[in-house]
Structure 1
Amino acid sequence: MFKKLISFWAANEKIINLIALGIAIAYPLLFNGRYYIDLAIMCLIYALLSLSLNFITGYCGIVVLGQAGFYGIGAYTSAILLTRYGYSFVFTALAAIAVSFLFGLIIGLPTLRVSGKYLSIVTLGFGEIMRIFELNATSLTGGPFGLKNIPHIDIFGIVIRTPIAQYYTILGLLIISIIVVNNLINSRAGNAWNAIKGDEIAAQSIGINTHRYKLLAFAISAALAGLAGAFYASYVNYIDSTSFNYETSILILSMTIMGGLGSIPGSIVGAIFYTILPEVLRFVAEYRQIVYGGAIIFSIMYKPDGLLGGFNLRQVRLFDNLHKQKAMAKGEEG
């Protein structure tokens, strides 16, 4: 049943994508209450964060446990430039991307020399170091009081104040990010990342500079998380270190695993699942963590690749074409 569904998706990918885009565009017109718009905005922010982690974990095979660190770097970079220097959001968002990318390079240079669980532990430590720095660097980050009165997003002089306008802004940023990621994973670099994920030693043996490609993927992943942070800061107008802690990193990882490693649609589905679930469990808040853990265990046991992971649409199309050719050949023989 699932394989048939994926084959149908592969055959009608463009149509399905257009339908999904149409639903996303029409959503604020159908559900225009403030609660539903805010819920959708957080869902899109999480989708961008999940996409950033999926890029490094799903397509390159590197498990990162400190993604919230880069999320926070982007948020604080944008917030500081907005509140203290009065730059426009376009500039601060680009600065957040650049600074997060740079931190990705700086952190990745030494840490990517190790692998497996040791690399995951190092990235976890990085995330906690950033949180502690944000908590204690009072003169820069506001310390435990955070940064207040962060200006709304303004794009070339147009201030984005209303929830619907904010929704379409983050939707646009997510779509642009998806296009960038899709082009990257289908490029020459994408082939290298896929080879590294499959067998790093074999990739090295055919001349791929694995450390360079891993470092590039790590930095791009950090930049995407930084972009999400920049939007988040202007959306909520206040940030402190509690928004970028270990629990946030685990939440992003949970979304990515649940949706499906190596699947762009999976990042969105995982974000939707983990954004709506807390609202469903609002009246049994004390059991949320149990449900979260149970969902991950269920996914690992019965769908290890996630809801939409474990398949490649190009491969599905190839296999479908081969089956059609075989059927035609048998028909001609008969």
Structure 2
Amino acid sequence: MFTLKEIKKTVLISLWFVFLTFPLMVIKVDPIEKTVLWRWHNALYVAIGIFCIRCLIEFFRHRKQQKEKKKKNSSDDSQALIHRILVDPRKRNIMLGVLLSLVVIFPFVFDTYQTNIMITALMYVVLGLGLNIVVGMAGLLDLGFVAFYAVGAYSYALLNHHFGLGFWAVLPIGGGLAAFAGILLGFPVLRLRGDYLAIVTLGFGEIIRLILENWNEFSMGPSGISNIDRPYFFGINLSLEHSILYLYYIMILFLIVTIFIVNRLQNSRLGRAWIALREDEIACQAMGIDKRKTKLVAFALGAFWAGVVGVIFAAKTTFINPASFTFLESAIILSIVVLGGMGSIVGVIFGALILILLPEYLRALSEYRMLAFGAILVAMMVFRPQGLISKIRRTYTFKQE
């Protein structure tokens, strides 16, 4: 199994990883003492670790190729188990009841910091579900999704700053303005697909960020907008701790509504049109589906969820500036969709919780936490390229009488 050629290739891969991680793992600069510490033992650890991981990957790949029967590994079994639970109404209701109970008591078990982190994770769950409409269902690769997020956040910040409008008044306005921006983006890119569509949406996201950064009279420029009002509870001002608790339950309610609507959309005529558009655009048009309208609705609905979450983000942080809406945010949201499973609602939820919570709980690894985080993502994509919980294609069977 391990030929000389494979061993040589594994050694080269290990050396390449040592080269990539050299500035982080080997060099340590002390700017106060003006000294450089060379940690060569770390390079050795990286080389040995990558060599062992590569050997394990090749071993499992060889075992998989040698099997003659239909293969079902443990992750596939767990995925099938999740799908069986979701299909069975009784099991599904029990699982949802347990999850809802855990979610409700979460703030009373953990401290305010953990609740604040969970609010951020729930926000990314909703953002992932919004982008899942555009990328996972309609198959339109959008790399500028953060632009709609920024439109919602700045809608609340500017309307609150200049006109004193509250959170609940601006929530639908922010979503509507983001949906309008999605339609404006959708019109020029109706004829584009694949890489060309990705480049245009990436450019759109950068245009929005640069406008917010340089138009000082409109957006306060790089200084941003501060003192944004937090949500009120029937006109009552809340303390910081109670405001975080209030936002947490708002996000829970909003997440439930989002899951319900997205699930209904998936099973609707429009959802089937999106899936047909993703699979084969020419065949979709030949079947009489209005391609233009289908794409515009996908862009508008995805942007609407991003705009609403943008309003919640501005209310949560009480300060925003263009640095919060870089391309990295779009990449993270897209990673959530791909990691969870394209078109899968449950997969996107798990993907968002992993991608947002994992870096926080890896802080114990100090400066190596992002390296460990990246290694975990690479391992997931190697062993589960279809996503954590891929969506099962719906099939229809006709039974003979």
- Normalised TM-score (structure 2): 0.75
- Correspondence for 1:252: 333
Aligned to 1:272: 353
- What are the residue-to-residue correspondences of 1:40-55 with 2, within 5 Å? 40-55=118-133
Contact 1:65/1:124, CA 8 A, preserved across alignment: yes
Displacement after TM superposition at 1:184 (Å): 1.7
Question: Do 2:152 and 2:178's aligned partners in 1 also have CA atoms closer than 8 Å?
Answer: yes
Please state whether the residue corresponding to 1:300 is helix, strand or coil: helix
Match among 239, 250, 263 for residue 344 of structure 2: 263
Q: RMSD over aligned Cα, in angstroms?
A: 2.2
The secondary structure found in structure 2 opposite 1:214 is: helix
Name the CA shift for 1:63/1:14 in 2 (closer, same or farther; >3 Å). farther
Aligned counterpart in structure 2 of residue 35 of structure 1, from 88, 108, 113: 113
- CA offsets, 1:151-177, max 9 Å, x none? 011255344552211110111122222
Q: Is 1:103 the counterpart of 2:181 in the alignment?
A: yes
Contact kept in structure 1, 2:359 and 2:370, CA below 8 Å: no
SS in 1 for 2:188: helix
Sort the Cα spacing of 1:203 and 1:158 in 2 relative to 1 into closer, same or farther, 3 A.
Answer: farther
Aligned pairs (5 A) from 1:17-28: 17-28=96-107
Once the two structures are TM-superposed, the CA of residue 260 in structure 1 deviates from its matched residue by 1.6
Q: Which amino acid aligns with 1:278?
A: P
For residues 225-262 of structure 1, what are the alpha-carbon distances to aligned partners after superposition, in whole Å with 9 as ceiling and x for unaligned? Answer: 00000000011100011111011111111112112211
Quote the residue 1:202 is aligned against.
283
Paired positions, count: 319
Q: CA separation in 2, counterparts of 1:63 and 1:159?
A: 42
Q: Is the 8 A contact 1:266 1:307 kept in 2?
A: yes
What's the CA shift for 1:293?
Answer: 4.0
- TM-aligned CA deviation for residue 129 of structure 1: 1.0
Q: CA deviation at 1:300?
A: 3.1
For residues 296-327 of structure 1, what are the alpha-carbon distances to aligned partners after superposition, in whole Å with 9 as ceiling and x for unaligned? 43333321221112325x65xx78xx9xx99x
Q: Any conservation in 2 of the 1:89–1:155 contact (CA below 8 Å)? A: no
Q: CA deviation at 1:102?
A: 0.4
Is 1:8 the counterpart of 2:89? The answer is no
Q: Give the aligned partner of residue 216 of structure 1.
A: 297
Greater RCO structure (CA 8 Å; 6+ sep): 1
User: 1:302-317 alignment to 2 at 5 Å?
Assistant: 302-311=383-392
The 1:251–1:95 alpha-carbon spacing in structure 2 relative to 1, beyond 3 Å, is same
- 3-state secondary structure, aligned to 1:58: helix
Give the TM-score normalised by the residue count of structure 1: 0.89
| 1:9–1:187 CA distance, 2 compared to 1 (3 A) | closer
Which residue is 1:114 aligned to?
Answer: 192
Which of 146, 152, 158 matches 1:80? 158
Deviations 1:21-41 (A, max 9, x none): 22222211222x111111111
Greater Cα shift, 224-233 or 57-66: 57-66
Structure of larger gyration radius? 2
Aligned to 1:140: 218
Report deviation, 1:206.
0.8
Would you say the 8 A contact 2:166–2:229 is kept in 1? no
Aligned: 1:183 with 2:264: yes
Aligned partner of 2:85: which letter? F
Partners of 2:303 and 2:170 in 1: how far apart? 16
Q: Which has the higher helix share?
A: 1
1:269-291 CA-to-partner distances (Å, cap 9, x unmatched) read 11110121111332445445544
Q: Which moved more, 1:105-114 or 1:172-181?
A: 172-181
> 1:295 and 1:64 mapped to 2: Cα distance?
25
Deviating more after overlay: 3-12 vs 42-51: 3-12
Q: 1:117 to 1:289 in 2, by over 3 A?
A: farther
DSSP-derived class of the 1:309 partner:
coil
Q: 1:241 to 1:285 in 2, by over 3 A?
A: farther
Task: State the match for 2:169 in structure 1.
Answer: 91
Match of 2:39 in 1: none
Do the aligned partners of 2:142 and 2:198 also contact (CA within 8 Å) in 1? yes
Distance 1:103 1:79 in 2: 17
**Change over 3 Å in CA distance of 1:274–1:173 after alignment to 2:** same
CA 1:160–1:254: 2 relative to 1, 3 Å: farther
> 1:254–1:296: 8 Å Cα contact kept in structure 2?
no
Asked if structure 2 preserves the Cα contact closer than 8 Å seen for 1:104 and 1:219, the reply is: yes
Contact 1:60 1:196 in 2 (8 A): yes
